[in-house]
């Protein structure tokens, strides 16, 4: 059974798109939490903790969007 290079490319594009959405969401939430902590003039330890919490929150929220995007991209 020969491999279809077009299918492999579409799969790779779908995976890259899904990970891009996940990474963008994680970057958004970590940046949002960092900006909020800086506004409150938080100490560096609390700022680092806020950024880490934002990364976790972004993963939690955007992993669902990422999976949905992967499914839609592979379906179409």
Asked if pLDDT for residue 3 goes beyond 90, the answer is no
pLDDT recorded at residue 9: 85
Phi, psi of 37 (to 5 degrees): -70, -40
pLDDT recorded at residue 50: 94
pLDDT recorded at residue 26: 96
CB 28 within 8 A of CB 65: no
- Which string of DSSP letters, residue by residue, matches 6-46? HHHHHHHHHHHHHHHHHHHHHHHHHHHHHHHHHHTT--HHH
Q: List, for residues 8-62, the tens digit of each pLDDT value.
A: 888 889 999 999 999 999 999 999 999 999 999 999 999 999 999 999 999 999 9
Asked if pLDDT for residue 64 goes beyond 90, the answer is yes
Its pTM stands at: 0.80
- DSSP 8-class letter at 68: H
CB 73 within 8 A of CB 40: no
């Amino acid at each position: 059974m020969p491999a279809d290079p077009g299918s492999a490319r579409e799969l790779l594009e779908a995976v890259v798109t899904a990970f891009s959405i996940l990474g963008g969401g994680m970057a958004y939430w970590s940046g949002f939490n960092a900006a909020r902590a800086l506004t409150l003039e938080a100490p560096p330890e609390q700022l680092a903790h806020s950024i880490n919490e934002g990364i976790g929150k972004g993963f939690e929220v955007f992993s669902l969007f990422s999976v949905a995007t992967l499914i839609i991209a592979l379906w179409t």
